[in-house]
C-alpha cells in the first residue's frame, strides 16, 4: 500500500503541485480512507519527502541506464533530456520550485543529491567528449559541470522563466544548444548539426 500511495502522490504532485494537493485529494483519488495514508506516513511532509526521493531515485536509475550505453556524448545528453522530460510530465506545476518554497529542508536534501548525481554524470560526459575530440580539450571540466547544474536549476524557476512565456521543453532545448555550442570542437559541431537535422 505504501508504494501505491507514493505512486499516486507522484502523479498528483507533479501535475498539480505539492502545495495544492491535500491528503484528502490523494485518499479520494485512490478510493481509500485518509487514515490509511496516515498509517503509512506520519504527515504530509513525510509523504512529500518520500515522493520527492522516489522521483529522484527513478530518474537517477534511468540516467545510469542511458550512460551505461556509452553512446556519443552529445547523443547521451539529448537522450537524458528526453528521458527526464517524459518522467517529469513537462513539470506543469514547477514542483522543484514549490519544494524550495514550502518544504525547504526536503528541497535542500534533494538538491544535494541532485548535485552529486549530476556532477558525476556531467563530468563523465565531458571527459568522454574531450577524449573523443567532440568537445574542446581546453574546457575546464569542473567549472562547466557546476555551471550546467546551476543553469538547469535556474530553468525551473518560474519567476525567472514564467511558464506562460517559456515551456520547460523550449527552455531545455535552447539551453542544451547553448551549452553544446560553447564546448563542442569543430567535429562536435558537425555531430550536433546532424543530430538537430535528424530531430527536426
The model's pTM is 0.88
Helices (H) and strands (E) counted in the chain, each on its own, are: 10, 0
In a domain, 6, yes or no: no
Look at the chain and report how many structural domains it folds into.
Answer: 1
5 assigned to some structural domain: no
* Residue (of 132, 8, 133) closest to 70 by Cα position: 132
C-alpha cell at 170: 523550449
pLDDT in tens, 86-103: 877 655 557 778 898 999
What average pLDDT does the chain have? Answer: 92
Per-residue pLDDT band for 151 (boundaries 50, 70, 90) equals: very high
The enclosing domain of 173 has a CATH number of 1.10.357.10
Q: In the structure grid, which three cell numbers stand for residue 162, read together?
A: 514564467
Contact 12, 23 (CB under 8 A): no
Q: How far apart are CA 191 and CA 15, in angstroms?
A: 35
Confidence of residue 169 (pLDDT cuts 50, 70, 90): confident
Are the beta carbons of 24 and 9 closer than 8 angstroms?
Answer: no
Does any domain span residue 23?
A: no
In a domain, 146, yes or no: yes
Q: Is residue 11 part of a domain?
A: no
Answer for the pair 161, 171: CB distance below 8 angstroms, yes or no: yes
* 175 located within any domain: yes
DSSP type of residue 135:
B
- CA–CA separation, 177 and 62 (whole Å): 22
The DSSP symbol for 88 reads T
* pLDDT higher than threshold 60 for residue 200: no
Q: Are 91 and 14 in contact (CB under 8 A)?
A: yes
By residue range, what is the domain housing residue 180? 43-199
What does the block give as the cell for 15? 501535475
Per residue in 2-35, pLDDT (tens digit) is: 999 999 999 999 888 898 899 999 999 999 999 9
**Can you read off the three cell numbers belonging to residue 36?**
490509511
**DSSP percent split of the chain into helix, strand, coil, nearest 5:** 75, 0, 20
pLDDT attached to residue 158: 84
pLDDT tens-digit readout, 103-114: 999 999 999 999
Amino acid at each position: 500500500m505504501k508504494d501505491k500511495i507514493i505512486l499516486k502522490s507522484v502523479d498528483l504532485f507533479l501535475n498539480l503541485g505539492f502545495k495544492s494537493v491535500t491528503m484528502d485529494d490523494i485518499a479520494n483519488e485512490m478510493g481509500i480512507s485518509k487514515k490509511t495514508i496516515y498509517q503509512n506516513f506520519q504527515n504530509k511532509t513525510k509523504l512529500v519527502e518520500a515522493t520527492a526521493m522516489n522521483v529522484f531515485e527513478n530518474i537517477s536509475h534511468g540516467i545510469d541506464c542511458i550512460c551505461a550505453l556509452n553512446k556519443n556524448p552529445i547523443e547521451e545528453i539529448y537522450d537524458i533530456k528526453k528521458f527526464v522530460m517524459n518522467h517529469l510530465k513537462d513539470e506543469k506545476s514547477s514542483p522543484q520550485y514549490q519544494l524550495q518554497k514550502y518544504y525547504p529542508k526536503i528541497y535542500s536534501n534533494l538538491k544535494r543529491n541532485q548535485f552529486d548525481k549530476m556532477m558525476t554524470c556531467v563530468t563523465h560526459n565531458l571527459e568522454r567528449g574531450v577524449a573523443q575530440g567532440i568537445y574542446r580539450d581546453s574546457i575546464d571540466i569542473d567549472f562547466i559541470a557546476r555551471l550546467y547544474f546551476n543553469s538547469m536549476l535556474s530553468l525551473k524557476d518560474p519567476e525567472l522563466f514564467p511558464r506562460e512565456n517559456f515551456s520547460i521543453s523550449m527552455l531545455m532545448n535552447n539551453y542544451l544548444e547553448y551549452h553544446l555550442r560553447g564546448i563542442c570542437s569543430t567535429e562536435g559541431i558537425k555531430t550536433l548539426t546532424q543530430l538537430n537535422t535528424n530531430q527536426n
